[in-house]
Amino acid sequence: MASITIALSKGRIFDDTAPLLKAAGVVALDDPETSRKLILATNRDNVRLIIVRASDVPTYVQYGAADMGIAGKDVLLEHGGSGLYQPLDLHIARCRMMVAVRDDFDYESAVRRGARLRVATKYLHTAREHFAEKGMHVDLIKLYGSMELAPLVGLAEAIVDLVSSGNTLKANHLKAVEEIMPISARLIINQAALKLKRTTIQPMLDAFSAAIAQCE
């Protein structure tokens, strides 16, 4: 049976994926939160996991350094998805892509006036599409994290970020004003690997599908 490499990020993606992997008969021999290893062996001789940054998962799979991976829709939209087969929404790591502003900022009125807003975000592509669709002119400012800070110190009027409970927004006196889209993590597979290693990959795909169906 062909050997396969699965790319994952630690944190919520790994935590939410572990039960799905288990349903497919795959258990990591180390915990990525405590181990410094970037390549994790599993109970299966022919399956290994690699631990990479969330935004790097599609890149490893696109180039075939990993045969499959799990990445948020947010990350896939920024990456573009080229070379990737995306057969399955795993319904894990769910949150929403939102526009947020300071809680004393009148977003509706700014939109009505056609004000040109500065928007800070890690998600340039998604943000550009969203505001273009609304016919709004915005100046996008690329950040790599902690977007919540930007409106508080005058870097931008608005941010585009992922929101789940809304507690981080609240703690920073921000409010969500627009939902761009719901986000969840997807299984991604290298297109060539799917053809060449079908006998290994297809049963995992089926086990994932069955595990998801059971949770729904």
Report residue 68 as tokens. Answer: 């499959």
Binding flag, residue 19, ligand ATP (CB under 6 A): no
Of the candidate spans 35-43, 91-99, 133-141, 151-159, the one that interacts with ligand ATP by CB under 6 A turns out to be: 91-99
Report helix, strand or coil for 47.
Answer: strand
Binding flag, residue 161, ligand ATP (CB under 6 A): no
Beta-strand ranges (E) seen in the chain are 4-8, 39-41, 47-51, 68-72, 84-102, 117-121, 138-142, 158-163, 174-190
Binding flag, residue 93, ligand ATP (CB under 6 A): yes
Q: Which residue has the closest beta carbon to ligand ATP?
A: 72
E strand or H helix at 21:
helix 12-23
Tell me whether residue 126 or residue 200 sits nearer to ligand ATP (CB atom): 126
Q: Contacts by 27-32 with C-beta closer than 8 Å and gap 24+? A: 32/8
Binding string, residues 25-64; x marks residues near ligand ATP by CB under 6 A:
----------------------------xxx---------
Report helix, strand or coil for 42.
Answer: strand
Site size toward ligand ATP (CB under 6 A) is: 18
Report residue 28 as tokens. Answer: 């990591």
Per CB under 6 A, the list member of 12, 22, 102, 175 interacting with ligand ATP is 12
Binding interface with ligand ATP (CB under 6 A): 9, 11-13, 53-55, 72, 74-75, 93-95, 145, 162, 164, 183, 185
